Amino acid sequence: MKRKVLVIDGSQGEGGGQILRSSLSLAMCLGQPVKIKNIRAGRKKSGLLRQHLTCVRAAKEVCDAEVSGDELCSDYIEFTPGKIKHGDYRFAVGTAGSTSLVFQTILPALLLGKGMSNIELEGGTHNQQAPSFEFLTACFLKTLEILGVKANTELQRYGFYPNGGGQWTAQVHPRISGQRLKLLERGEPVARSATTFTAKIPQHVSQRELKQVVRKLKWKEQDLREILVDSFSPGNIISLKLEFTNCVEIFEAVAQRNIRAETIAGTAINALKRYRNSSAVVGEYLADQLLLPMALFSGGSFITHEMSQHVATNIAVINQFIDSAIQTSEIESDTYKIEVQGLNLNSDGIKTEVQKSDLIV
């Protein structure tokens, strides 16, 4: 018997691409046909851009889905998933669009494969409004290890706006089992670092960013690193990392044309200060990214310091697929406890096939 198609309104909440990506991930893992309408209606340029189209077509390849509406600028898609297929995949965004977001879209499904999957990605690796490669690996994937997520990554080339061209690979192992994720206390401070990654721009930019870290945070020289990287486009990002016994958080800012290095650094510094001065364990961006894998896998709970519209929208979408999967409660001013009831899906419960694919959008 065919399952009833679930209709998701892409204009709800913040009306961005996360509604599309979360819906695709959930549809693949749950075998749920879905129609997504009004895609990215809350954005100035609505509909599918190349990055979003790559997510749709990557999801299609991974689960052999039947799809309609998968074309540039389309404001809807219909997505009927088939069997999840582990194997070798290559996905190229074709612009500087975020490869991290493409990876996060297909990761949950690949964890349900019967064997290991090898993924090659090409496009943007360090974008505004998206997790960088370092955030993805050292923060997101590191945190997910307790849920039974194992993925090995390697970066070959950085990809900055506008040309992109970044390249990296990932090996995703099938999920067998895991524990509930419980992040209610940070624990003791373990380490801190401020790192700039810079390609084809004057060195004084990264130096000024790091001087601002010393000035505003009173960090020491031993906490600072400048790294020159290979990229087709000029670019720069500053990454501030805090490690505790129970968690890792990263705060970033990507350089922008005609904006002073001190201002860019200040964006990351201010985000770190907001987190440090709160009782949160999980920052705003990581909170948003943890919700879906927690709901599909072992579940758990965490404390975060901001309930952004982005987070609230993602919770609403997940709860449309999995009834009452996520509950929130405000435990003090602007501090929230999020509790997730996980389905504990794993590779033993999914019938899969082996697949090879090379997709360029």
Our CA angle for 135, 141, 143, nearest 5°, is: 100
Please indicate, yes or no, whether residues 10 and 75 belong to a single structural domain of this protein: yes
Here the tokens at position 190 are 């373990």
Q: Which of 83, 118, 139 is the last residue of a domain?
A: 83
Catalytic positions are 310
Our CA angle for 326, 58, 135, nearest 5°, is: 60
Please indicate, yes or no, whether residues 172 and 92 belong to a single structural domain of this protein: yes
Can you tell me whether residue 4 is helix, strand or coil?
A: coil
Q: Is residue 233 part of a domain?
A: yes
Q: Provide the number of structural domains found in the chain.
A: 4
**What secondary structure does DSSP assign to 254-290, as a single string?**
E--TTS-HHHHHHHHHHHHHHHHTSS-SB-HHHHHHH
Residue range of the domain that includes 15: 1-83
How many residues comprise the chain?
361
Of the candidates 358, 354, 352, the residue with the CA atom closest to the CA atom of residue 87:
354
Q: Which of 83, 114, 144 is the last residue of a domain?
A: 83
Peptide bond into 189 cis (omega under 30): no
Please indicate, yes or no, whether residues 114 and 102 belong to a single structural domain of this protein: yes
The beta strands (E) that lie in the chain are given as 6-9, 34-37, 66-68, 76-80, 84-92, 117-123, 151-157, 166-172, 181-183, 189-199, 224-228, 235-244, 248-254, 300-304, 326-332, 335-340, 352-360
Annotated binding residue at 316? no
Q: Is residue 17 part of a domain?
A: yes
Q: Which of 83, 111, 146 is the last residue of a domain?
A: 83
Query: CA-CA distance, 61 to 84, in Å (whole number)?
Result: 9
Q: At what angle do helices 17-30 and 50-63 cross, to 10 degrees?
A: 0
Query: CA-CA distance, 53 to 273, in Å (whole number)?
Result: 36
Q: Is residue 184 part of a domain?
A: no
Query: CA-CA distance, 283 to 301, in Å (whole number)?
Result: 13
Please indicate, yes or no, whether residues 79 and 97 belong to a single structural domain of this protein: no
**Per DSSP, what are the bridge partners of residue 150?**
none
Annotated binding residue at 286? yes
Annotated binding residue at 104? yes
Please indicate, yes or no, whether residues 101 and 70 belong to a single structural domain of this protein: no
Annotated binding residue at 207? no
pLDDT digit of tens for each residue in the chain (361 aa)?
578 999 999 999 999 999 999 999 999 999 999 999 999 999 999 999 999 999 999 999 999 999 999 999 999 999 999 999 999 999 999 888 999 999 999 999 999 999 999 999 999 999 998 999 999 999 999 999 999 999 999 999 999 999 999 999 999 999 999 999 999 999 999 999 999 999 999 999 999 999 999 999 999 999 999 999 999 999 999 999 999 999 999 999 999 999 999 999 999 999 999 999 999 999 999 999 999 999 999 999 999 998 899 999 999 999 999 999 999 999 998 899 999 999 999 987 543 343 445 554 4
Q: Is residue 104 part of a domain?
A: yes
